[in-house]
Structure 1
Amino acid sequence: MQTYEIAVIHGDGIGPEVCQSATDVIEAALGNGKVLEFTEYPAGAAHFLKTGDGAPKATMDACRKADAILHGAAGLPGVVHPDGTEAGVDIGLGLRVQLDLYANVRPIRLREGIVSPLRGREVGQIDYTIIREDSEGMYASRGAGAVVREEMAVDMLIVTRKGIERVVRAAFELARKTGGAPRDGKKRVTCCDKANVLRSLAFFRRVFDEVGEQYPDVERDYSYVDAMTVHLVERPDFYNVIVAENLFGDIISDLGAVTVGGMGMSPTAELGDHHGFFQAAHGSAPTIAGQGIANPYGTILAGAMMLHWLAERHDDPTLAEAGRRIEEASARALAGGVKTRDIGGKAMTRDVTAAVIGELGSSLKVA
């Protein structure tokens, strides 16, 4: 039996709580066999306060060697570098660069038991994925921008043909694997940009079209980012896969998350050709840390994404089956009313963990 090394970075605030929940669920889904080896490594804002380094080299090196990385949450209020940028996120941003994690994959799916703030939307009507280019765009300027005489500041939006091609290809490949958009069943990739104003994003759209021509079975669609903020509210069922530049993808993915229960319900995978980093989309929520009320569903579902990714890379059906069972067990727990406060319930973090593990047991008996 093959064993996979998983680097676990608990991070800050509620990070350790949701990370522990996810690893408990994953181990329960895999049964008695020691398929995954979880090893914890330090990073984040609290570690920055202790050592002056939020992304230790030893942790970065361990992540490079690991088969996958599972992360809790990062950041604490007021913990910043001298230039004012947040110190806690150094580990995630650093790994994107060092491990070339160019595709940020965020599924936006309304699940049974969650009431969407979009009036009248039901399960099955919001089910799309946002793929955000994760290594270039506006965020490529982090650490490289300039403040001149305290009178002017500048950052650059940078995109390359290689960067656009590979993330757009990932979007079309994903669309091929889906059942299409909820509204009409069409496999569709939407390019979200601001091509009418910025040359860099007009270039993004041109490359999108060049790649899209190689996928005649997948429909191409286009939306300016300002219009997209309207469309994701008014007609979310139209969308199947959306691809966007880094900053724009960051913004619309948070908007999408709130339509399906909030950041606590949003698993995320940051993927490259050889490495994968998995976490929920939420922050560290320090005001509720240690109270046992954090929502672990997002991190649990990120763990399921990790298992599916590992299964595909290593052709390991055991991992794929475990990922599927975690998703189904989580869905049954939610449908049964096991919900934390942020999604309208009273369950504690431990209650969610126990419920999902319990559902894993019942699914095993059914199988």
Structure 2
Amino acid sequence: MKSYRVATIAGDGIGPEVTAATLKVLTEALGASRITFEDMPGGAGHYSRTGEVLPDDTFAACRDMDAILHGAAGLPGVNYPDGTEVGNDLHLRLRFRLDLYANMRPIRLWPGVRSPLRDFDGGGIDYVVVRENTEGLYASRGAGVLLRGEMATDTLVVTRKGTERVARFAFDLAQRRKGAPRDGRARVTVCDKANILRSYAFFRAVCDEVHGDYPGVEIDYAYADAITVHMVKRPDFYDVIVAENMFGDIISDLGAATVGGMGISPSAEIGDSHALFQGAHGSAPDIAGQDAASPLATILSGAMMLHWLADRHEDADLRQAGDRVEAAVGRVLAKGDHVPRDLGGQTGCNAMAEAICRALSEEDKTK
């Protein structure tokens, strides 16, 4: 029976707390003999002490191990000379060096969680934003031009290769899912501004070409401004949304707000050979060390990691463990006895992890 090694970077702020909670839950679900978590240094705090945000040994571990689990990175005032944040650079370096081209952000309304969209309380929101992760406007990071303090420019980059592969990722994902909650149809929505910019018209055209290989999946289109309205008024229409880097970044945060916030929003950055999993939230240094953070986004990211490893290695036990973690989170939230503070409750980080572990243990006893 195969065992797995996961490079674990707890990082800054609440990162160590939510990471420890996640390791507890994943170990309960799978057992210590199947997966080993190897703690590696990195982040803004490490940079402050050593001058390195991503040490060579940490990168080597991330490259060579089976997956990467990250807590959070970033601290106030820890910036590079150009003013950009050091913390973001940790996963950005991993993203580009390991070619993690597809950012996957599930948007799901869990039982027991109250949505700001009252019409959807009790369910009806369950889609995934797939964000192209290596190109778009963010490709200009570090390469933009600031001219004599008077003018700044950044370049939007869209390539055929980059768009084809993220579009194929999105259509493959739609084939595996159950379809949109409204009508059960497998659907990929292309989010762009094809009516204004040639780069986005090209993005749409390449997605159209890829769609030709997926006759069982519908294709839909939405401009980036209009989709912000549709995600609020008819979120049940969506199944998979694929978008350029910056647009995907923005709309995935909006989606998270409709299902409870960033504290319950998992994410994965996936390439052909490597993948990084982390909660979509920041490092929240203002509540670090107070046991006040919600570990749910990181725990659900850990479940995504188990699913990715299961698909990659054809390991049914990992698939089952990931399903069990998600089901345990759902049962705990639906029961309502343990609710994290960002969702209106009073349960701390450790207690949330313990409640989910109990739900897993109780499931085992009923088998």
What is the distance in 2 between the residues matched to 1:221 and 1:96? 28
Map of 2:130 onto structure 1: 131
Map of 1:296 onto structure 2: 295
What is the distance in 2 between the residues matched to 1:142 and 1:358? 44
Q: Which amino acid aligns with 1:361?
A: S
Is 1:35–2:25 an aligned residue pair?
A: no
Is 1:88–2:99 an aligned residue pair?
A: no
Map 1:335-354; keep pairs closer than 5 Å.
335-337=334-336, 338-354=338-354
Report the CA distance between 1:366 and its aligned residue: 2.2
What is the distance in 1 between the residues matched to 2:184 and 2:249? 26
What is the distance in 2 between the residues matched to 1:123 and 1:102? 33
Identity of aligned residues (%): 60
Map of 1:45 onto structure 2: 44
What is the distance in 2 between the residues matched to 1:349 and 1:12? 16
Map 1:1-367; keep pairs closer than 5 Å.
1-31=1-31, 33-337=32-336, 338-367=338-367
Per-residue deviation, residues 6-45 of structure 1 (Å, max 9, x unmatched): 00000110000000000110001113x5111111111111
* Secondary structure of residue in 1 paired with 2:225: helix
Report the CA distance between 1:135 and its aligned residue: 0.8
TM-score normalised by length of structure 2: 0.98
Segments of 5+ residues of structure 1 without an aligned counterpart are none
* Secondary structure of residue in 1 paired with 2:95: helix
Q: Which amino acid aligns with 1:73?
A: A
Q: Which amino acid aligns with 1:108?
A: I
What is the distance in 1 between the residues matched to 2:30 and 2:201? 46
Q: Which amino acid aligns with 1:22?
A: T
TM-score normalised by length of structure 1: 0.98
What is the distance in 2 between the residues matched to 1:274 and 1:177? 20
* Secondary structure of residue in 2 paired with 1:120: helix
Q: Which amino acid aligns with 1:130?
A: V
What is the distance in 2 between the residues matched to 1:53 and 1:278? 21
What is the distance in 2 between the residues matched to 1:281 and 1:292? 19
Runs of 4+ in structure 1 over 4 Å off: none
Q: Which amino acid aligns with 2:85?
A: E
CA RMSD of aligned residues (A): 0.8
Report the CA distance between 1:123 and its aligned residue: 3.1
Per-residue deviation, residues 142-184 of structure 1 (Å, max 9, x unmatched): 1111211111111111111010000000111111111111111
Q: Which amino acid aligns with 2:262?
A: M
Q: Which amino acid aligns with 2:171?
A: F
